Amino acid sequence: MQFKEGDKVQFIREGSLIDGVVKEFKGCSPDMWYLIDDKCKDSWIFGGHLILLTPLPIIPQFVADAIDTFKDEGDSLAVAIDYEVYTNELVKELSLDSRVRGWLWETSNQELFARAWSGKYEVEDEPLYYVRFFDGGLGFLNAYFSGARLVNYHLESEGYKTKFTESEIKNMDERYWAFAVPVEEVEVEHERD
């Protein structure tokens, strides 16, 4: 197999499995040598000693939460992956996100779920929102870490936050979701001002 610059690979050095990234290569097939950056040092490794690193599955946070919940309950993968298990009653009882059922209904997502069940996955970044109750610079929800909330400017500081995920907004108060505005929209508006 030929690797290209930027490929994530693995190889064994002194009995340990090492992750690295291809920086450059020389030679011609089948005698290719690759310069691998493994965060500790750069090493030239014979191509026959490299394997392509399979990327971790990327799943939404609500799916990661469902995996954790079913594992905590002692359930098996077979139970957790069955989209018909996600009844309204079970979703409410286990405090799951109802979107899991629709996500699992897609066959391609079932494979991602099964791969993520092993415990090795990445959580995709959830979109962030401001809660803007009225127009103007001082119309944004500010949630202090103490639990107090007020309406003020949209910039965050160490004591409070102004950017929230959908679930954070709905957990504070379902009615706030009607006032959610994607962070990008607000920041574009403020760049124009």
d(CA 154, CA 137): 7
C-alpha–C-alpha distance, residues 156 and 21, integer Å: 36
Q: Indicate if the pLDDT at residue 19 is higher than 90.
A: no
| Beta-strand runs (E) in 27-120 | 33-37, 42-46, 51-52, 58-59
pLDDT at 30 over 70: no
More confident residue, 64 or 18: 64
pLDDT score recorded for residue 156 = 81
Q: What is the CATH number of domain 8-52?
A: 2.30.30
Over range 51-73, report the average pLDDT. 90
pLDDT recorded at residue 72:
95
How do residues 120-168 score in pLDDT, each as one tens digit?
899 998 899 999 999 878 899 999 888 889 999 888 887 889 999 888 8
Label residue 113 by pLDDT band (50, 70, 90).
very high
Domain borders along the chain are: 8-52, 58-123, 129-192
For residues 16-29, give the mean pLDDT: 84
Model pLDDT for residues 65-85, shown as the tens digit of each residue: 999 999 999 999 999 999 899
Instruction: Return the structure tokens found at 19.
Output: 């992750």
Give buried/exposed letters for 16-27 (b at 16+ CB in 10 A, else e): eebebbbeebee
Residues of 58-86 as b/e, b for ≥16 C-beta within 10 angstroms? Answer: ebbebbebbbeebeeeeeeeeebbeeebb
The position carrying tokens 């064994």 is 12
Question: Residue 78: enclosing H or E segment and its boundaries?
Answer: helix 77-80
Instruction: State the average pLDDT for the chain.
Output: 88
